[in-house]
Amino acid sequence: MLNMMLFNMIPTALEFSLVLWILATHAGIPAALITTATMAAYVGFTTYYTTKRNEYRRKMNMAENEANARLLDSIINAESVRFFANEKRETELYDQSLAKYE
């Protein structure tokens, strides 16, 4: 966390402050306020949709892990699956796991 703040957030905040100061002195206070509002909207939008995307990604990762576990279990127990003639059932279960992922 400290590393991210030191090398990403602090330089960005410093640069944004300098740009706002230059913009306010050369183009006026309204231009600096519009720029600040635009950046605030951008940060809010990006944060919101990144959070939403991370939720979907987490669910996708869980579904992918489940599908991979199903496949690995079928491969490890291939002899048992063949002995009990469960190839079709294992295939259906794997397809269901993949459908959750997709």
| Structural domain includes residue 22 | no
Kindly report the pTM of this predicted structure: 0.62
Of the candidates 61, 60, 69, 59, the one whose C-alpha atom is nearest the C-alpha of residue 93 is 69
| Structural domain includes residue 50 | yes
pLDDT in tens, 23-61: 999 999 999 999 999 999 999 999 999 999 999 999 999
**What domain count does the chain have?**
1
- pLDDT at 83 > cutoff 80: no
pLDDT at 1: 65
pLDDT in tens, 68-82: 998 898 888 888 877
Element holding 94 (H helix, E strand): helix 87-101
Task: Give the largest CA-CA distance in the chain.
Answer: 81
By CB neighbour count within 10 A (0-12 exposed, 13-18 middle, 19+ buried), where does 68 fall?
middle
pLDDT in tens, 4-19: 777 888 899 999 999 9
- Cα–Cα separations (whole angstroms), residue 21 to 42, 48, 80, 86: 20, 28, 72, 71
- pLDDT at 87 > cutoff 90: no
| Structural domain includes residue 3 | no
Domain limits for position 33: 29-101
Q: What is the Cα–Cα distance from 48 to 50, expressed in whole angstroms?
A: 6
| Structural domain includes residue 15 | no
Give the number of other Cβ atoms within 10 Å of residue 31's Cβ: 13
| Structural domain includes residue 67 | yes
pLDDT at 7: 82
| Structural domain includes residue 24 | no
| Structural domain includes residue 48 | yes
| Structural domain includes residue 4 | no
